Amino acid sequence: MRLKYQLENFRFSLVFLVLMISAIGVLLVNSADSSLMKMEVFGVAVGVALMICVSLIDYSFILMFYRILYLINLALLLAVELLGHAAGGAQRWLRIGDFQFQPSELCKIVLILFFAQYIMEHEDTVNNWKTIVKALFLFAIPTGLVFMQPDLSTTITIVVIVFLMMFAAGLSYKLIAGVLAVLAPLGAGLVFLGERYGELFLTDNQYGRIMAWLHPEDYPNTVYQQVNSVIAIGSGQLFGKGLNNNVVGSVKNGNFILQPQTDFIFSIAGEELGFVGCVVVILLLLLIVFTCLSIGRRAKDTAGRMICVGMAAWVSVQSFVNIGVTTGLLPNTGIPLPFVSYGLTSLLSLMIGMGLVLNVGLQRK
């Protein structure tokens, strides 16, 4: 059956928000490292084209292949373990000639699609232990492979995304309360053990960053990047120092922040665009999240609703973690700011996800 989309159902507001936040990202990446601007503009152009193309493909048709997508995802993650390119103490990339990409970013969108279909097929038994255990098993395999790269931040993001999808599907409050009653003391115990014996089950890099966050005075060489990030954000004051400025006292210009174009792009926003610019970035991300949820409320079926919930969770959780790291509220961990940080795999994956959300909106009830 050929679908007849109606133009008035196309959420141009979401496209506008994505274009706005991506444009800010291009400006900030250019300010952080001008040599990357052409590639970032190319990524945004390709991403927008992908978003529009995917928005015209029936997501129900894509979900017919959800098992195949899951297996391809596992194959890519296994390839990273066996053949992956290592950098910065982690093995997270696959390289083909001069081109490299990060399968863990693709893993997010694949798992959103997979569990959207899984939840729809089991929506009447979502609180059944058999359904939950099966979901945990299917979820644990790719998540474990991501954790082994090692990529703790992406692992945590994926865990929260899938949990929020299950919660939105109607997971029992009693079941959640029971799990939290067990996890709360367990989590406290893990924090206690992690502080003393974390080197036994965490990498040296992960353990050092957590300890530096808990006891910054004892780890000045590890925590300096977050300290400089906070200084940069504060120095921007209300309106910032301006993009591509030549201010001698600039933290960015003094090269006191490593990789400012990726994980610490928000510190560039704080220093050069000030408090007002930071608020604009956060508001745009919030509006994208709310628009995804708004589209999901009118989805034609459970799978469409779960896709929107998953994308909203992805943008919100990853934004929270990134901004939390750059402001010193969370331990330092490498995770990009959605649509803003440099990284083509992350950007294109997010654009594909937004295209799926737009298609859900085209088929609303």
- Rounded percentage of the chain residues whose pLDDT exceeds 70: 86
Q: CA-CA distance, 121 to 303, in Å (whole number)? A: 9
Query: Does the pLDDT of residue 1 top 50, yes or no?
Result: no
Q: CA-CA distance, 275 to 266, in Å (whole number)? A: 11
Question: Which residues face 204 on adjacent strands?
Answer: none
Flag the least confident range among 15-29, 228-242, 290-304. 228-242
Mean pLDDT of 156-179: 85
Number of structural domains found in the chain: 1
Mean pLDDT of 320-339: 89
Residue 2, SS3 per DSSP: coil
Assess contact for 239 and 274: CB atoms under 8 A: yes
Please provide residue 96's backbone torsions phi and psi, each rounded to the nearest 5 degrees. -125, 100
**Looking at per-residue confidence, does 260 or 351 come out higher?**
351
Residue 2 lies in a domain: no
Assess contact for 303 and 309: CB atoms under 8 A: no
Average pLDDT, the chain: 86
Q: CA-CA distance, 355 to 52, in Å (whole number)? A: 6
* Parent domain of 117: 7-362
What's the half-sphere exposure (Cβ side, CA atoms, 13 Å) at 305? 17
Residue 47 lies in a domain: yes
**Looking at per-residue confidence, does 164 or 2 come out higher?**
164
Mean pLDDT of 102-107: 89
Which pLDDT value is given to residue 292?
97
Q: State the Cα angle at 343 between 340 and 344, rounded to 5°.
A: 105
Residue 8, SS3 per DSSP: helix
pTM score, two decimals?
Answer: 0.90
Q: State the Cα angle at 58 between 55 and 63, rounded to 5°.
A: 115
Mean pLDDT of 344-364: 94
Query: Does the pLDDT of residue 331 top 70, yes or no?
Result: yes
Residue 348 lies in a domain: yes
Residue 279 lies in a domain: yes
Question: Which residues face 101 on adjacent strands?
Answer: 94
The string of pLDDT tens digits covering residues 237-281 is: 999 888 888 776 677 777 778 778 888 999 999 999 999 999 999
